[in-house]
Structure 1
Amino acid sequence: MRFQAPESLSEQIAQHLGQRIVTRDLVPGERIQELKVAGDLNVSRGSVREALLILERRHLVEIYPRRGAVVSKLTEESVNALYDIYIDLLCMLARKVLERWPGEQLGGVMGQVRELQAMVDALSSTAPDAAERVIDAGFGVMRYAYGLVENPFLEETLENFRPAISRTYYVALDHFRSEIAGTGTFFRQLSDAVVLGDAEQLQQVIQAFGEHQRRQVLSILREENA
């Protein structure tokens, strides 16, 4: 049995600020003032300071002497470094799932994927929270896969990537609303490969989708910096 410790106040603050960064409510280069955050949330400055250190470890803020915390910028270098590792980790997770569970025994995963597909198909691309809902649903499938693989090191590593990768997903989905339907197609291809137990096809689907996301994010950054 695994016991989940209650989230600390600092972690809750970090998640709140992190979500604002992911959705670009707090924009790159914007300063995060400890005193204002503490007042807005009715918490101590010490808790806010700890939350900012958490966000720094998640590569969402940078902390400078005498200047404080600033929302980190997405750069071509950081996006490429992120996707280089993240795609490989997703392929490893998928491979481990198939190694431990034959396709016909993955009914739970297939149920998760079908729910996600139904949600995407019914979701209007103009809905204000469309990108967030698609991202959350995708990570829901991943969390289910963690339970099948039972590798705490792989799970922790992937979860540590979640804020940074969510940020890039949001950028892509917010600019290219047609990609919401494309995400549904990705999960259909994923489920087909799982049912067939085809590890090579599964990795090809993941790599193709990851590289597609990478290219889109990079194109957006180049356009913004032009």
Structure 2
Amino acid sequence: MTKLYTSDESSADQVYQRLRRLLIEGHYPPGSRLVEERLASDLGVSRTPVRQALVRAAAEGLVQIFPNRGAVARSFTIDDLLEMYDLRALLEGHAAFLAAQRITPDQLARMEAAAAALEDSLNHTFARREDEVHFLVEQNAVFHQTIAEAAGNQRLIAMLNQIVAVPLQFRSFYWYRKEERQISNFFHRSILNALTLGDGDRARAMMREHIFYGRDVLLQSRRAESAAVASGEENEL
């Protein structure tokens, strides 16, 4: 089997980052078994860092580990998607409300930088579509995670970590057109302005609208994928 990575760099964190990228990009399809021997061969490392990486991936919600079955790439039904986005809207809306009274200038500056990076990316050409999507996911994560951090509620952060599904974000951003990215950027600016003004009610309302808009785009992408598969034009991302 051809190794996906041949570097000698095999620290636990590096292995995790490689595995995480492959899971997010769908190299291991949802529902597929993640056999340690195969992963070790693909990544060019021993089984020990792979085992550690799987535990971290499970904590992030990228995989599920079952007794006597091992690890499986997490899959999502439409009902899963709707439930997660309903919870995200509730929890991230509350986080934005709390953050409006607690956010620091440094945190606002971090969010400003992420929002600006997302806006500027509309005029930037990336070598690969996957590189562009990873950039969007990472900057979006900075924006949202900073709000959760500013809210100052550790239980809230833990709950968000359980329901924010990065593979779904990747698939959503993969299908985002320029117009949809502009709308997403508008929501980011509106949330940031509300936080800057200390307006918790508006920050919560705009965050909820932002989350529901992302849900709707993802639903559209799922339908587009299904149509493509049905027509034989495309089997996977």
The TM-score with structure 1 as length reference comes to: 0.77
Distance 2:217 2:176 in 1: 8
Give yes or no for contact 2:63–2:72 (8 Å, CA) kept in 1.
Answer: yes
| Structure 1 contact 131–180 (Cα < 8 Å) conserved | no
1:146 deviates by 4.6
> Match for residue 6 of structure 1?
none
1:91: which partner in 2? 93
The equivalent of 1:170 in structure 2 is 170
What one-letter code is carried by the residue in structure 2 that aligns with 1:118?
A
Find out whether 1:111 has 2:112 as its counterpart. Answer: no
Cα deviations across residues 131-189 of structure 1 (Å, max 9, x unaligned)? 22122122223443455333322223323444x1x222211111123233333211111
* TM-score normalised to structure 2 length: 0.74
Contact 1:124/1:130 (<8 A) preserved:
no
Equivalence for 1:120 = 118
The alpha-carbon deviation at position 124 of structure 1 amounts to: 3.8
**8 A contact 1:116–1:184 mirrored in 2:** no
Q: Secondary structure at the match of 2:27?
A: coil
2:84 to 79, 82, 95: 82
Q: Distance in 2 between matches of 1:58 and 1:182?
A: 28
Does the C-alpha gap of structure 1 residues 100 and 53 become closer, same or farther in structure 2, counting only changes over 3 Å?
closer
Distance verdict in 2 for CA 1:68–1:173, change over 3 Å: same
Report the equivalent of 2:232: none
- C-alpha displacement of 1:14: 4.0
In 1: Cα distance, 2:93 partner to 2:106 partner: 19
User: Is 2:146 the partner of 1:144?
Assistant: yes
Which structure 1 residue ranges, 5 or more long, are not aligned? 1-8
Q: Percent identity?
A: 24
Give the distance between the partners of 2:87 and 2:163, measured in 1 at CA. Answer: 9
Letter in 2 for 1:73: S
Unaligned runs of 5+ residues in structure 2 are 1-10, 228-237
Distance across 2 between alignment mates of 1:130 and 1:42: 26
C-alpha displacement at 1:118, in angstroms?
2.4
SS in 2 for 1:26: coil
Conserved? CA contact 1:120–1:181, under 8 Å: no
Aligned to 2:217: 216
Q: CA RMSD in A?
A: 3.0
Conservation of the 8 A alpha-carbon contact between 1:52 and 1:69: yes
Question: Is contact 1:34-1:45 (8 Å) kept?
Answer: yes
Following TM superposition, where does structure 1 have runs of at least 4 consecutive aligned residues deviating by more than 4 angstroms?
Answer: 9-12, 62-68
Aligned length: 213
CA spacing shift, 1:202–1:78, aligned 2, 3 Å = same
